[in-house]
A and B are shown apart, each in its own frame.
Chain A
Amino acid sequence: MTQAAEAPAVPSKPRTPWITRSGLAVPLILFALFAVLPPILVVSGETFLLTILTRIMIFAIAAVSLDLILGYGAMVSLGHAAFIGIGAYVVGIMAFHGVSDAFLQLLVVLLATGLFALVTGAISLKTSGVYFIMITLAFAQMAYFTTTSLAMYGGDDGLTLRVRSTVFGMSFLGDRITLYYIVFAALLGAFFLCRTLVASRFGRVLQGCRQSPLRMRALGFSPYRYQLVAYVIAGMLAGIAGALLANQIAFVSPAYMSWMRSGELIFMVVLGGMGTLYGAIIGAFAFIAAEEILSHFTHHWRVIFGPLLIIAVLFARGGLISLIFARRGSG
């Protein structure tokens, strides 16, 4: 190969180990922790932590999908929670009508969130900057108010899940450890899918369009098409997070898609470090852990939490992760 033939011409660099070059060190440590924690927590009797960790991983899936469009595509969507809500409502409504098969539900979740992303993305991506933020917010609010008006499915009050999703007629998502590992597998899948996408030709174009849309157009790319595909993929992944959330809480509510939820997802991504994918997982962890701890001490935890978030974002440029590791150039 040409590379090998030309290798001697390149001044020999200190060889960095594969794990460092691949950027997988941090995520693999994270995943290893997630993998081994359940037995430890069960033995030590702290099973309530399992519930929190499951919740963290569910939001991590949504945050990773948001990082795909935000960190790699510079699409600041303030409506990402809508996809979580749609995913959750698909599960809730199908269960309401007695359709609990997980695969069928998954299919409908992907179709519904994909379609919603395609339509709203096609319109939103005609704009940019603040307009994009506002229009994604507007679409999410539309979804929000639509669900509040679904009187049959509980309206404002939300909808209790009649049955959790079943696999081949068997119901085991009620088991906390089973659900934990299913969510864990989904997080792994979402992370490695996004990682693969980002490194592909498609991902390269997406990142190029983040850096200079004019340059990319002058090279012959139409940013719109690539951004729209990324938007749809991210929406579908967040939809899966929503379906899992519905199963965890056994309840779906319009609150899942409020603009505050969307804002929190952005915070998670920024907090952990945009454009790294695993930063979104760390961000989700830090965010939900802080939320849990603060709400434990006071009902007015939001008063403390808001300023904390702002401090974290201001002082941890590039996210929390950059305090620990120097950030590598993306791409």
Chain B
Amino acid sequence: MTIPGWIRRSGAIFLKELTQMRRDRLTFAAMLAIPVIQLVFFGYAINSDPRHLPTAVHAEDSSPIVRSLLHGFQNSGYFDLSRTCDALPDCDHLLSSGEVTFVIHIPVGFTAALVAGRRPELLIEADASDPVAASSALGYAESIVSSALRNDLTGSLAGLQVGREPYGLVIHPRYNPEKKTQYNIIPGLLGVILTMTLVMITAIGMTREVERGTMENLLVLPARPGEVMIGKIAPYLGIGAVQTVLILIAANFLFGVPFSGSVEILALGLINFALANLALGFSFSTIARTQLQAIQMTFLFFLPSILLSGFMFPFRGMPGWARGIGELLPLTHFLRVVRGVMLKDASIRDLQTDFLALLAFTIFVTGIAMFRYRRTMD
């Protein structure tokens, strides 16, 4: 059996890259260590769903209804009613010193006004200096209050439950719909880590040849652009696979992220996504003149990937133009695939548009790479 020439030449470049990669121990180690380090940083340190936030209560009214209301806050797990304050200046101090994140104000005559249907106002003051920390707890305030009162507003008071809420809740307007951040962040991290490492490593692939002066030799050897591309990205498909396994193992052991879906669909998504990134990196390396430029291009791409893909901020919460950009990024589609498979047991039909988008992206950037590949030194 004869193996076609293009496969043999791609294989030659593949072996060369593999040998060079093996010899560059530091980069090799970094490729494997970065995922684990990032995972630990993001997974443990960055928690946008903090609980048991210290809360002071400024209660100028007291009744069973108020008590059960406060109970509701405490039991939610988000608010830790650890302090009380009697005078407003004391409350302000607690908040400004950072001793508490929230102050819940129950105004004079709250119960009476509530029962009389006069819609008393319940005020929650929040330390807005770290809006992320406060926002998810605040997101629950509404439902805490309404469910606490639902139990009390019975019998003759049941009429108050009809129509508008019988009280006004004044809170910080932020809202975070996602409940368990780590479940969401860690599958997303898989995509972020693969984006960064795979794009960067292939982006320097050709520029390194240029900077080391080996490009003159490579160009004069009988390897066609497509063969060089295949040979140069193939080793990193393997690296990507190892990174993925590491991250998935860590996700399960360190953070207990469930895996509810199909491994096959996830693998298919990963291959698609890794190819998209590798092809992109390679096309960067055909455009950049130096390794530094290639790395800068990688970061230029990395930033919107993190911000607009739905990794950092909920995709549905973004304005239209930002979503438009997001739809062009492989990470956006991969996040849907990985979150869909891992958390929602999505089927391949549920995800087919995302698969097609990834494929289209790969074809497009490969086209750019082939167009931009320098066949000569000028």
A and B: partners? no
